[in-house]
Structure 1
Amino acid sequence: MITHHPKHELLSAFVEGELPASLSAAIAVHAEMCEICAKNIQHLTEESAANFFSPDVKTYNSYSDKPASNTAATDELSYEFMIDSITEDESIAELVVQEPLEIEIKGSTYQLPTALRSMSMMGWQKMGKLSRARLNLNEGALHSSLLHIDKDGGVPSHTHKGFELTLLLEGSFEDEMGTYVKGDFIWLTDKNTHTPHTTEGCLCYTVADDALQFIQGLSKLLNPIGAFIY
């Protein structure tokens, strides 16, 4: 059962279109798997729409329009203008059914969630039991990736220079804070330290704004390549 969800502030920002593409995709994928968050998003969307069409919100036919003295008449004209704009296109839109996109990693096949299927992906890079493929979103310091960890694999104990979002797409893993299953939305910062390990193997969607920082023993020698993983 999914026990880790996006915070309310993230869901609100998602509905308002305020998140970068990488985080919006993470919310959308999580909502595909989580009925609770899907309902919360629907509620926030309805609430946002109600606020937008509230009588207190004035709209005009163009940016150059100025408020008229008769507000009710202006609102009515704006509404009619909007409906006319929507209905003037007589073309028929055909529903395109998207085929499931499968990826294969080290003999395991996975179907990608809908929100990730249109993203272009770089080739897989492998280091031991870890495999990572960057997603080409061109978001500067934000790096989005698919991360695969083989059975009985893990990541040495580390913290983060920025934030790290891990959305579990398949499989499970555990760390000092608990066990995570498909659909869990795990948000960590420089205040968190953990040592992820998986028995069955897992595939994750990750977003990070800086490299991780190894903190114990010989693994500290890996810090120069910490950006490889996230």
Structure 2
Amino acid sequence: MIKYHPNSELLLQYVQGALPASISVAIAAHLELCAHCAEHTETLEGQCAHSAFADEQIEASALEHACEQSQLQDELGDEYAAMLADITADDLRDDFSIASSKELRFGDKTITLPRALSHIGMGRFMQAGKLARSRLELDEGSMRTSLLYIAPGGTIPEHTHTGFELTLLLDGNFSDEQGTYEPGDFMWLDHRHQHTPYTEHGCLCLAVVNSALHFNKGLSKLLNPIGELIY
């Protein structure tokens, strides 16, 4: 059962098209996995559409009044009707089809990605121990979007974040000090949080970060000088 979701503010920004592409992609992938958020988003879309049409009606009324005052209403109406006739008379139609979602294979395990990720280019997986990372081809300055696979028994040393870290669990499960996460869980962490992710059976995550991890304890602190390269 999915326990962690994007908040209503994020979903509204998603509907309004106000988010960076990487975060929008993560939310779109979450919506494919979470019926609750998909329904909430549909409601927000309806509210935004109603508000937009209401604004257009107000603008249309103001324009109509101006046309009446300037005696141009008939002329503009004729032009609009001609334009609409030209548009609707075009019989050409574009055919669109949704390509099959990409599949990833790790050993004998095959993972099907959400459709939201199926058309985004991916770099080859770079592996270090039980962690493998593929960078998604989204050019957004300091923001990095990756697929992270942690093999069974893998862990990431305790760390916090110098920026934010968005994690969407796509397959498998992992645990940290806060609990256990299942596919579809959407987590947003920043400098206020520190955790030690561990997976018993392996997991695949979509991760979006805008700055390096900061490791807190023991020998893992030695990784901090190259933190920029890690993220």
TM-score bin, normalised by smaller chain: 0.7 to 0.9
The residue type equivalent to 2:32 in the other structure is E
TM-score with structure 2 length normalisation? 0.87
Secondary structure of the corresponding residue to residue 146 of structure 1: strand
Q: Pick the structure with greater CA Rg.
A: 2
Q: Could you tell me which residue of structure 2 aligns to residue 68 of structure 1?
A: 66
SS at match of 2:29: helix
Partner Cα distance (1:104, 1:213) in 2: 30
Q: CA deviation at 1:104?
A: 1.8
How many correspondences in the alignment? 224
CA apart distance, 1:24: 0.4
Q: 1:149-188 to 2 correspondence within 5 Å?
A: 149-188=150-189
Contact 2:101 2:117 in 1 (8 A): no
Q: Aligned equivalents of 1:159 and 1:127: distance in 2?
A: 20
Distance 1:182 1:101 in 2: 17
CA positional deviation for 1:70:
4.5
Equivalent residues of 1:171, 1:203 under 8 A apart: yes
Paired letter, 1:143:
R
Query: 1:178-217: CA deviations, max 9, x gaps?
Result: 1100000000000000000001100000000001000001
Gaps of 5+ in 2: none
Counterpart Cα distance in 2 of 1:188 and 1:163: 6
C-alpha displacement at 1:106, in angstroms?
Answer: 4.0
Q: Unmatched 5+ residue regions in structure 1?
A: none
Is the partner of 1:165 in helix, strand or coil?
strand
User: Residues 100 and 118 of structure 2 are in contact (CA less than 8 Å); yes or no, is this contact kept in structure 1?
Assistant: no
The equivalent of 2:225 in structure 1 is 224
* Alpha-carbon distance, 1:118 to partner: 0.7
Matched residues, percent identical? 45
Determine helix, strand or coil for the equivalent of 1:223: helix
Once residues 145 and 128 of structure 1 are traced to their aligned partners in structure 2, the CA distance between those partners, rounded to angstroms, is: 17
Deviations 1:101-143 (A, max 9, x none): 1122344321111010111111111111000000111000000
**Which residue identity does 1:22 align to in structure 2?**
S
**1:105 maps to which residue?**
106
